[in-house]
Amino acid sequence: MNSLERHDLPLSKIPKRWYNVLPDLPRAPDDYLDPANRKPVGEEFMERLLPKALIAQETSLERWVTIPEEVRSAYGLWRPTPLFRAHALERHLDTPAEIYFKYEGASPSGSHKLNSALAQAYYARLEGIDRLVTDTGAGQWGAALSLACARFGMKALVYMVRASFESKPYRRHFMETFGQQVLPSPGPHTAYGRELLEKSPDHPGSEATAVSEALETVRQNPGDRFSMGAFANHVLLHQTVVGVETREQLEQIGKQPDFLVASVGCGSNMGGFAFPFVGDKLAGADLEILAAEPAACPTLTAGEYRYDFADASGLGPLARTYTLGHDFVPPPIHSGGLRYHGAAPLVGLARAEGILGSRAYAQKEVFAVGSLFARLHGLLPAPETAHAIRATVEIAEECRRTRRRAVIVFCYSGHGLLDLGAYGAFTAGEMTDAEPYESVAAGDPVFADRGGR
């Protein structure tokens, strides 16, 4: 009996358009606020920060946005990606549910992140920008942007969370091999970084500290623009190439999804995968969209929906979304890509409007499921992806109990080949679970000003 069943799209079916969820949402997203005066950010603020094409995409109300031919051509490096059915996992779980996954693991940078990186590098090059500056956690985004910038002849500067910079040199070497510059955050290259290091020389960094350093650098160099791997609407827009393909693949085999599952750090993976189905759901489809988060940083599961800074220093705009507080420093779990205090505003809005739900999982149960999946299917998932598999297993087990023949589709956001140190620790029995958020939130000094906001 077959272990995996694959559904392809031909090269010619790389989507010609991204899907923009804004016109389909029940209400418009709240404005970004200028940190200086807490009023909606002006054109000038945004243009100093981002390429103009991306600013236009940020607030566009067009449902479909044309993908430039140069970007489509670059997608041809590995897209369209396959949709697999995981027969072996279904049999292992003895579930009547059908389990499908969209496989982003053959991306040359290792994850879905490249979908937006190529678009951003293309537009930046078109507008004559010198360099893109960005932040990265585990390095998935930094790797993607480094590759994309090399591909379009651009320079990139990547601030990498110090904990990952030191413990995951491979992704740093990847970025450097593509000719780009990588600096640890916090580090001595910005005023913000120096200040943090003075207060705590062993600061492990977080996506939020790296964002702060990237923003400070962009403000000081007129030829620089900031690049985001998640959060912003335009990033989620670019990622919808994943969901648009998935929707077409499911239609081809005559399947309606009952569950769409994706891991959420900030939300680019979830937004890109699930947003093209939101119109169906709002039109009445019986569809549950579920975010899988780490228990150590459960933004959608335990956060508050309110205005907060996207970065740690308060240099960037404020956005209304789910947040654990911009001064929350998540513990150094192995899913570095999920260590972020806030959700992308569009994902936050979707959560607030009841369009998607979330569940949180501890580290060891996630690696156990990641290892199981590898042995069953021959594909080693990134720890981030393993969160989505963990949630899928939970749903499939519920289906076994309720005898429901549900169609579950999860997004296999990236491979785990550069996370083998963590798998090694798990296999050797040396992995521990990080403290879950709830117990940290109760007494940790990083929440000193939490009550006051």
Which chain residues interact with a copy of itself by CB under 8 A?
Answer: 2-4, 6, 8, 10-11, 73-74, 76-78, 106, 108-110, 147-148, 150-151, 169-174, 176-179, 371, 374-380, 417-418, 420-421, 423-424, 426-428
State which residue, 68 or 279, has the beta carbon closest to a copy of itself. 68
Q: Residue 74: how many CB atoms within 10 A of its CB?
A: 23
Q: H-helix or E-strand containing 290?
A: strand 288-294
- Exposure string over 108-121, b if 16+ CB within 10 A, otherwise e: ebbbbbbbbbbbbb
State which residue, 224 or 419, has the beta carbon closest to a copy of itself. 419
Residue 8 beta carbon to a copy of itself: minimum distance, rounded to whole angstroms: 6
Q: Which of 145, 111, 149 shows the shortest CA–CA distance to 262? A: 111
Residue 59 beta carbon to a copy of itself: minimum distance, rounded to whole angstroms: 30
Distance CA 104, CA 51 (A): 26
* Omega before 35 within 30 of 0, i.e. cis: no
Distance CA 260, CA 101 (A): 9
Residue 240 beta carbon to a copy of itself: minimum distance, rounded to whole angstroms: 21
Angle at 289 between CA 285 and CA 294, to 5 degrees: 175
Distance CA 125, CA 51 (A): 9
State which residue, 1 or 442, has the beta carbon closest to a copy of itself. 1
Residue 71 beta carbon to a copy of itself: minimum distance, rounded to whole angstroms: 12
Beta bridge partners of 133: 157, 226
State which residue, 144 or 318, has the beta carbon closest to a copy of itself. 144
Residue 31 beta carbon to a copy of itself: minimum distance, rounded to whole angstroms: 36
Residue 373 beta carbon to a copy of itself: minimum distance, rounded to whole angstroms: 10
State which residue, 14 or 315, has the beta carbon closest to a copy of itself. 14
State which residue, 357 or 424, has the beta carbon closest to a copy of itself. 424
Helix (H, G, I), strand (E, B) or coil at 452: coil
Residue with tokens 């900030």: 266
* Strand 131-136 versus strand 224-227 pairing type: parallel
Distance CA 438, CA 13 (A): 45
Q: H-helix or E-strand containing 3?
A: none
Non-local (6+) Cβ contacts of 5 within 8 A are 84, 85, 87
Beta bridge partners of 99: 408
Residue 366 beta carbon to a copy of itself: minimum distance, rounded to whole angstroms: 14
Residue 372 beta carbon to a copy of itself: minimum distance, rounded to whole angstroms: 10
Residue 181 beta carbon to a copy of itself: minimum distance, rounded to whole angstroms: 11
Residue 21 beta carbon to a copy of itself: minimum distance, rounded to whole angstroms: 28
Residue 427 beta carbon to a copy of itself: minimum distance, rounded to whole angstroms: 5
Residue 453 DSSP class? -
State which residue, 80 or 267, has the beta carbon closest to a copy of itself. 80
Per DSSP, the residues of 295-339 read: TTS-HHHH-EEEEEESSSSS-S-EEEEEES-TT------S-GGG-
Q: What distance lies between CA 72 and its chain's CA centroid?
A: 21
State which residue, 58 or 70, has the beta carbon closest to a copy of itself. 70
State which residue, 5 or 398, has the beta carbon closest to a copy of itself. 5
State which residue, 254 or 451, has the beta carbon closest to a copy of itself. 254
* Strand 356-361 versus strand 224-227 pairing type: unpaired
Distance CA 92, CA 1 (A): 13
Q: Residue 439: how many CB atoms within 10 A of its CB?
A: 10
State which residue, 48 or 375, has the beta carbon closest to a copy of itself. 375
